[in-house]
Chain A
Amino acid sequence: MTDLNNDLLNIDPANDDPANDDACNDVACNNNEDVVNPVERFLRGDRIPHIWCPGCGIGTTVNSFARALIDSKIDLGSLALVSGIGCTGRVAGYVKLDSFHTTHGRAIPFATGLKLANPKLNVVVYSGDGDLSAIGGNHLIHAARRNIDLKVICVNNLIYAMTGGQTAPTTPDHSTTSTNPYGVFEPSFNLPHLVEAAGAVYVARWTTFHVRQISRSISEAFKKKGFSFIEIISPCPTLYQRRNKMGDGLEAMKYYKEKSKVRNGAPTSEVGMTMTGEIIVGKFVDRERPDYQTMMRAQYAESLGDRYVDQPSIQEEPVCS
């Protein structure tokens, strides 16, 4: 076990709950070769190898997501996952769930339709920063405003990676990209601040160094009813780091370890990112607000009285076992 692995197991003692260590102790750190990887059953084995580069953090986030599925004991039969386009957009193709790889930026409105037409579904949106906050930015803020009951996992690699390293709304000032070869000069989005202002009920940020915290946040979001947003800062060694001379995936882990500061409850206005500065991580927002469908039902019931007919569940029982 390398030092880094040790580090990975011992991060943030102040913020770490030993009760959550089981998954890691059972598997990742177990030398017994007979042990089946517990996340394997959540993946489409017949689609491996995946397309992600060495050192990319997206696979790490999927591992944490799968562990959250175990920890939260969420009903997998009612779980659907929706992605947009981009490197993270490919997550939908690798998870063994009802999964939808939609169009660029439109994962959230697609997910909105899924959730509204069958309120019993648990719907996760899993996509990248460019997809969710640039081309899909309008949908992001409106879904947060409406408080649609969606769990949005935003893997933020600070760049458009699938298309070759162009500037994203999240690319930090002064970094270099293929479309800002002389350096980025436009300000970047602070996504937790944006979605909090728009109305999200749960907002957290971690890096791919914080594998257990990611799982925990996803599990917490599953328990919330409403628009939840988890940003995961993730390395892109191939396009962001190489161009900016920031090293490989391991270097990114060291950077995340050294520069991440856990500040649960930090005002989101203070968590904006810079190219080489501190990364404020933690759970920033956890509040209660009625979700869209709760408000819709209440409004219809109040206005229509006996004339209101609630939506029947489209499929009461699974068609297959």
Chain B
Amino acid sequence: MKADPSGVLTGIHFMDGDHACCEGALAAGSRFAAGYPITPSTEVVERFAARVPTVGGAFIQMEDELAASIALQGGVWAGAKAFTVTSGPGFSLMMEHIGYAAMTETPCVFVDVQRGGPSTGLPTLPAQADMMQAKWGSHGDYEIIALCPNSPQECFDLTIKAFNLAEEYRVPVMFMMDECVGHMTEKVVIPPADEIEVVPRKHTHKSVEDYLPYATNGDLVPEMAHAGDGYNFHVTGLTHDERGYPNMTLPIQDQLVRRLQNKILNAVDRITMTEEEQIDGADVVVVSYGITSRVAQRAIEAARKQGLRVGKLRLITAWPFPEKKIKEIAAKIKAFVVPELNLGQMVREVERAAGGKAKTFAVSHAGGGVHNPEDILKVIVEASR
């Protein structure tokens, strides 16, 4: 379906990534957010708080991130499309409810504008060090989707995508921004509402008698009902059967947890978004995401000027990890170069997926700034030998 025009600020704007993310959420149809202030993410909800009463919705600033990350899920079960916004320390506090959203299959979006860590770290400066936490932060086995925008325009476009993926797969989607992308101001084009595709809630049309809240068919994604619809359904974070009732037997645990994984893993090819450039014939492929992809671009171009054959693979979807693509490329190249604003997170995934077919070079950075393109270039040169 098309976006509700009331939330779409059609036009050409000069806007930072945080604000563009908020506009993306409104365009996607989100009318409820719960937040807790934390630098460098707060501008997203500040704008939402100002905008949402003019389009029919609510924002609440909760008492902490634990509250914000579960209040938004209450909003979802009441029928809203909802999100919360945070940065590293708050993201740590939200882990419990990322697990709850995964287990209860609550479609929602967690925006993490990454800053330097660990702990309070560098509140106003960038990092990309929450990438593993986004995937593995809550306990138990589950899959999430994570997207990495590299510009304010993508903060708008991909926030809509994040909401759409959340609805399609009934999964929490991590929107992995970073301080640079969040605070960078660039041109943002917001198209007319009728050019914005929005995925509606997968609401059941079954009768009360026929409705099983966690029964699925081929796509492994159950149909949803909302509080007040008359279904008298039950939702629990305990292991549950198709009725939604607690059932802690081994077969039910196995069936449920595998389904939660497989509904995402079976759809990796449909979920994965990458940007590729000159990979055919390349000796070295630079794998990057978020703000680092823009720094890497300069290093790639400098390397090409030196006559090196360098390809680019930008991960727009970080999770589920595009393992198959890395494997295919690994068979044809000498090495991957993986710059990221952490001491080595996604590079491990690249190395694992490459399976020894190509070498993997990390270009690590502890965060607080972006790479010097020279540093990436040096590693590209080394990897090309």
Contact = CB atoms under 8 A, between A and B. Distances in A.
B280 interface: no
Interface stretch (B77-85, B292-300, B306-314): B77-85
Given A98-B231, A100-B77, A116-B32, A315 B70 contact: no
B237 A304 contact: no
Q: Chain A at the B interface: mostly helix, strand, loop or mixed? A: mixed
A133 to B, nearest CB: 15
Nearest to A75: B228
B73 to A, nearest CB: 6
Interface in A74-113: 77-78, 80, 82, 92-93, 96-103, 105-106, 109-113
Contacts of B245: 44, 46-47, 93
Given A101-B236, A309-B53, A77 B75 contact: no
Nearest to B81: A117
Contacts of A101: 234-238, 246
Given A102-B237, A319-B229, A320-B207, A114 B78 contact: yes
A113 B55 CA distance: 18
Most buried by B among A47, A106, A115, A318: A106
Contacts of B76: 113, 117
Contacts of A111: 74
B63 interface: yes
A319 to B, nearest CB: 5
Interface in A128-151: 138-139, 142
A113 B72 contact: yes
A314 B32 CA distance: 11
A13 interface: no
B228 A80 contact: yes
A99 B235 contact: yes
Contacts of B236: 92-93, 100-101
Contacts of B234: 44, 92-93, 99-101
Contacts of B57: 311
A307 interface: yes
A308 interface: yes
Contacts, number: 176
A120 to B, nearest CB: 7
A138 B54 contact: no
A114 B80 CA distance: 9
A300 B227 CA distance: 26
Interface string B337-360: 000000000000000000000000
Contact of B97 (A80, A96, A106): A106
Nearest to A310: B56
Interface in A52-87: 77-78, 80, 82
Interface residues of A, number: 49
B56 A311 contact: yes
A26 to B, nearest CB: 24
A308 B57 CA distance: 10
A311 B207 contact: no
B231 to A, nearest CB: 7
Contacts of B66: 105-106, 109
Contact of A307 (B31, B54, B227, B238): B54
Most buried by A among B53, B204, B233, B245: B53
B229 A315 contact: yes
Given A113-B70, A309-B56, A315 B79 contact: yes
A304 B54 CA distance: 8
Contact of A121 (B34, B96, B227): B227
B58 A117 contact: yes
Contacts of B34: 109, 112-113
Contact of A117 (B67, B79, B225, B238): B79
A190 interface: no
Nearest to B34: A113
B375 interface: no
A114 B233 CA distance: 15
A102 B6 CA distance: 33
B62 interface: yes
Contact of A109 (B67, B203, B226): B67
Interface in B41-79: 53-58, 60, 62-64, 66-68, 70-79
B281 interface: no
B132 interface: no
Nearest to B62: A109
A178 interface: no
Interface of A: 44, 46-47, 77-78, 80, 82, 92-93, 96-103, 105-106, 109-118, 120-121, 138-139, 142, 296, 300, 304, 307-312, 314-315, 318-321
The 8 closest A-B pairs by CB, nearest first: A113-B74, A314-B79, A117-B75, A113-B71, A117-B78, A109-B67, A118-B78, A101-B236
6 contacts: A99-B233, A101-B238, A117-B76, A138-B63, A142-B63, A311-B56
